[in-house]
Structure 1
Amino acid sequence: MTARTAGVTLAAGVVAALSVAAGAPAFAQPQAETDGQATVSVLHAVPGLTVDVFAGDRELLPDFKPGTLTDPLKLDAGSYDIKVFKDGEGPGGTPAIEKTVEVPAGANATLVAHLTADGKPTLDAFVNDTSKVPAGKARLTVRHVAAAPAVDVRADGVPVFKGLQNPKEATAEVAAGTVNTDVVLAGTDTVAIGPAELDLAEGSNTIVYAWGSATDKDLALKTQTVTGMHSAPNGVPAGETGRAAGGNDDAALGALAAGAVLALGAGGHLLRRRTDAG
């Protein structure tokens, strides 16, 4: 099974399980923005750890492996009872932690399990910028979620973002087109990740995650593309793994971030237990 196929399967499973848990009709796949729904993607960026995530007694993300980014999930707004187990221990066992998550309508975000700068598992919620992009432009967002020091991000050899630290992000509007990027240690020419070729499509937000561990020498890039922000009718959309579309409501996104901290805090507790257990 390819990574993309796995992501689609996971996404469909999450939507179906959460819809049943909330007593609402299940959706087979992500659909267009609908009133009363939110768009959520999940990235597992903690090397070497596999987890199972449940809603009530229904498995949402079985064997959720590092480096996996789900396709965007269209979730009905509401409360979900999220349980996180060590891989293979649910649902009959005792969850490592259980949290009720509030999913607000209109949100567009990515939940990321990753390492802190000093290598400890943690989780964060990032708001995906879906505001309009000027004609001929693309939005480039870089998120530092790796166990590594501050970095500079270069496009065609020229620093675009300088001194980016974990877990910060930086964004800019750039000319649409293909660029060669790499990640170097801040203030140096020492390449930490890359080079990698990015296709920055007009009217899109290409989100690049630097993840992994510098100490373990497994640093890598993961790319997510959010589309649908064209300012001109002839803008060209792009399709990539992790594609999403939707509006941006500050209040809803703030509520999602708060709810995500609860849900992802459960995962963080689990991941720390796994690390402590060796």
Structure 2
Amino acid sequence: MKKIVAAGIGAGALIALGGLAPANAAEDAAMLSVLHGVPGLTVDVYVNDELTLDDFEPGDLAGPLELPAGTYSVAITASDAADASEPAIGPVDLPLEAGGNYTAAAHLDAEGNPTATLFTNDVSEIAAGEGRLTVRHVAAAPAVDVLAGGEAVISGLENPDEQTLDLPAGTVEASVAAAGTTDPVLGPAPVDVAEGTLTIVYAWGSLDDDTLELAVQTVTGMHSSPDGVPAGAAGLVATNAPEQQFGMWALVGVGILAAIALTAAATRAVAASKAER
């Protein structure tokens, strides 16, 4: 089976997902990313009973994927499962509206049980000079405060809630602490809040098992004069790992097409030169 991880979703995965149009699909598309936030569990992801993501590992972030609007049934199984008949999570229905931008997160609830949550990403217009920061609590942990510069900017955030702020563009030194305290259990870590960009920070993992991590996803294109539905770029930042950029498959694809075009042009030029002789 082909392994599909966040570092490079192949065209085959996109084609497979694109072919999973539900019965009530509309012509307009929805954008969907998938976050694996269950520590210690490598999984397979089935969409409408079709294997879509194989050997999906903790911390992986796949997408964004363009899908016809409609409702999709998603089941998450152990990586060695033969099919989706005995899921570890789900099956859950994900209703995707035309023009919507979503992230489906497989994660732990506050008590440490595997679950899944569909989040709607706020891709509405952002004022000039500002970026949008969304913080999502998807960890097995009590309510938390999000600190910037040592002070709480988000208080009492519980699993699986989120909170969104529009901020001046810049870098925020963010950390996560138990609600009412300032001693970080995650971070501090620099979070780039870029102009016209939605930056989503996920706290995932387990506090008791000492597996808490931060993940960062970005969705671009919400400037004051957006040019259509933001597709977004998915990224992941771990507190103890360098930043990884996802969506490079698109750049690689463009490079391959360009190389093919140049080769074809050169071949035609050589053939024409020989003919003239």
Fold agreement, TM-score > 0.5: yes
Q: CA deviation at 1:41?
A: 0.4
Aligned pair partner of 1:76 in 68, 76, 80:
68
Q: CA offsets, 1:70-128, max 9 Å, x none?
A: 1200012356565544312224x845476776544222110011111111111111110
Letter in 1 for 2:44: D
Q: Could you state the TM-score of these two structures normalised by the residue count of structure 1?
A: 0.72
Q: Is the 8 A contact 1:10 1:61 kept in 2?
A: no
- CA, structure 1 residues 57+132, in 2 after alignment: closer, same or farther (shift >3 Å)? closer
Aligned pair partner of 1:116 in 109, 121, 127:
109
Could you say which residue in structure 2 is the equivalent of 1:49?
Answer: 41
Aligned pair partner of 1:138 in 131, 149, 157:
131
SS in 2 for 1:166: coil
Q: CA offsets, 1:13-66, max 9 Å, x none?
A: 44211333449xxxxxxxxxx952110000010111121123466421001111
Could you say which residue in structure 2 is the equivalent of 1:17?
Answer: 16
Q: Is the 8 A contact 2:151 2:182 kept in 1?
A: no
- CA, structure 1 residues 105+8, in 2 after alignment: closer, same or farther (shift >3 Å)? farther
Unaligned runs of 5+ in 1: 24-33, 245-278
Instruction: Give 1:229-244 correspondences, 5 Å limit.
Output: 229-231=222-224, 241=235
SS in 2 for 1:113: strand
Q: CA deviation at 1:199?
A: 1.1
Q: Distance in 2 between matches of 1:55 and 1:14?
A: 12
Q: CA deviation at 1:196?
A: 0.3
Confirm or deny that 1:171 pairs with 2:189.
no
Deviates more, 1:54-63 or 1:146-155: 54-63
Q: Distance in 2 between matches of 1:82 and 1:141?
A: 24
- CA, structure 1 residues 121+58, in 2 after alignment: closer, same or farther (shift >3 Å)? closer
SS in 2 for 1:42: strand
Aligned pair partner of 1:64 in 26, 39, 56:
56
- CA, structure 1 residues 13+59, in 2 after alignment: closer, same or farther (shift >3 Å)? farther
Q: Distance in 1 between matches of 2:164 and 2:142?
A: 19
Could you say which residue in structure 2 is the equivalent of 1:38?
Answer: 30
Could you say which residue in structure 2 is the equivalent of 1:274?
Answer: none
Identity rate, percent:
48
Confirm or deny that 1:184 pairs with 2:177.
yes
Q: Which has the higher strand share?
A: 2
- CA, structure 1 residues 105+215, in 2 after alignment: closer, same or farther (shift >3 Å)? same
Q: Could you state the TM-score of these two structures normalised by the residue count of structure 2?
A: 0.72
- CA, structure 1 residues 211+94, in 2 after alignment: closer, same or farther (shift >3 Å)? closer
Q: Is the 8 A contact 2:137 2:161 kept in 1?
A: yes
Coordinate RMSD, CA, aligned: 2.9
Q: CA deviation at 1:6?
A: 2.9
Deviates more, 1:56-65 or 1:8-17: 8-17
Q: CA offsets, 1:235-273, max 9 Å, x none?
A: xxx9652799xxxxxxxxxxxxxxxxxxxxxxxxxxxxx
Could you say which residue in structure 2 is the equivalent of 1:220?
Answer: 213
Aligned pair partner of 1:206 in 180, 199, 205:
199
Q: Is the 8 A contact 1:153 1:181 kept in 2?
A: yes
SS in 2 for 1:124: strand
Which has the greater radius of gyration?
A: 2
SS in 2 for 1:49: coil
Q: Is the 8 A contact 1:11 1:70 kept in 2?
A: no
Q: Is the 8 A contact 1:15 1:75 kept in 2?
A: no
Q: How many residues align?
A: 225
SS in 2 for 1:7: coil
Q: CA deviation at 1:232?
A: 6.0
Q: CA offsets, 1:169-212, max 9 Å, x none?
A: 11111110112111111111221100100111011111000011
